Amino acid sequence: MTLVIAGERSGVGKTTVTLTLLASLRRRDRLVQSFKVGPDYIDPMFHQHVTGRACRNLDPVLTSEAYVQQCFARHSQLSEYALVEGVMGLFDGVKGSREWGVGEEELITNAQCPMPNAQCPTDFASTAHIARLLNLPVVLVIDCSRLSGSVAAIAHGYQSFDSRIKIAGVILNRVGSDRHLSLLKDSLEPLQLPILGVLRRQDNITIPDRHLGLVPTAELPELNALIDRLADLGDTCFDWQRLLPLLKSEPLPHPPHSPHPSSPVRIAVARDRAFNFYYQDNLDLLQQLGAELVFWSPLEDAGIPKDVQGMYFGGGFPEVFAQQLAENTSVRDAVKTAILKGMPTIAECGGLMYLCEQIIDFEGKSWSMAGVLPTSAVMGGRLTLGYRRAVALQDNLLVKAGITVYGHEFHRSHLTLTPTQPLFETSRYDCDENMGCEGWGLPANVHASYVHLHWGESVEIPQQFLQQCLDFKLY
């Protein structure tokens, strides 16, 4: 048993409520495992900062329904308490679902809709979908800042919309006064729906954001003070007598044994303020398959780590640190030299931007990057966002021609030139709308793409990457 923290829509305070719960539990010296529904990288950073344990993404589009269940079971049983933060509104998802298959995909319809005489909701990969998959109760966070009696209609609608979802209670957020709270309680009383927490409007608890969401934890020097304030709030605003039994998980007597690496290979993983978008499951897979991960900083270090046989640049915010990246010429030169000598390199989104000739920031200033790819990344106001179905157009560093992979795009940059031999032909996940060709695979030892991949159901991807790394020797 554990809980899913869901919102009635985006922006109601799910992340604040989740961090408040986690901070208060950690203050009580509880071992807590957190999960995040969907492909987001930044919310899990905050979870990990509070709990000290890597947050796990639960996303059946990027992986599969079975993988979501396995991931939750494996990691929740290693802790005393567990908590799942949802995504968007409770029932916000995508159309249909798919049976996983390498190189093929089959769209299937949702399960029979619980609403008679109504169109079935498109809630695959939604918070509700995950709650059903894991058979977990949901706590609904409601933003009460602009309503009073209407709170009952909202709560009743979510409570009755899908009979397969168990609403364990509500958390009332942004409550303005005692009188306001009294009106809310009176309205909810006929529903007999427990109020598990009340958060008043807070002026001293704000997490800054920018063009891709929250500012990552590494850039917030006052974060620990903020977490302390959240813990203080959590100690008093929740009904812990009701919540603690719902959050309890059953620890295993011993952690599962990880495979022993058979052929060690050193991989340089760029991880600093500019590059920090990684799925922990991907890093775990690399280690389980024999990789030694060497974390380093293209911002701060003088060169790439010694004796590595591959490089991995995740996403992040290279545009925010473009000047510092540009000024570190020794690293830029070392990265380009290693790639031109054949070192296998994965570069996702922000990593792709770093391998370009330039990044042109929001102010139109140009900053020199590694210069591996004959194109420049230009920041703009248009947001590219969504799940992608990507079919490999050629054999490349990670997949063979004709293989279909499923990923996610989230960026505000575009490239000045498109590749002549792109890696993928892409389309939207939930329909056949073609999104064009993208991805750079020249030199052949490079996989540079805007599409973020989760390897949980595609172990052949890191296997192929590591085999290429084993075959490479720089020194």
| Selection from 125, 131, 195, 194 nearest residue 161 by Cα | 131
Number of CB atoms found within 10 A of residue 330's CB: 12
Q: How many helices (H) and strands (E) does the chain have?
A: 13, 25
User: What is each CA distance from 187 to 11, 151, 180, 262, in whole angstroms?
Assistant: 23, 7, 11, 62
Task: Determine the Cα–Cα distance for residues 313 and 347; give it in Å rounded to an integer.
Answer: 5
| Amino acid at site 47 | H
Residues noted as catalytic: 349
Question: What residues pair up with 312 in beta bridges, in sequence order?
Answer: 269, 346
Burial classification of residue 135, based on how many CB atoms lie within 10 Å of its CB (0-12 exposed, 13-18 middle, 19 or more buried): exposed
In the block, which residue shows the tokens 């009383």? 189
User: What is each CA distance from 131 to 224, 308, 415, in whole angstroms?
Assistant: 31, 42, 39
Does residue 119 contact residue 126 with C-beta atoms inside 8 Å? Answer: no
Half-sphere exposure (Cβ direction) of 42: Cα atoms closer than 13 Å: 20
Burial classification of residue 232, based on how many CB atoms lie within 10 Å of its CB (0-12 exposed, 13-18 middle, 19 or more buried): middle
Task: Determine the Cα–Cα distance for residues 59 and 46; give it in Å rounded to an integer.
Answer: 18
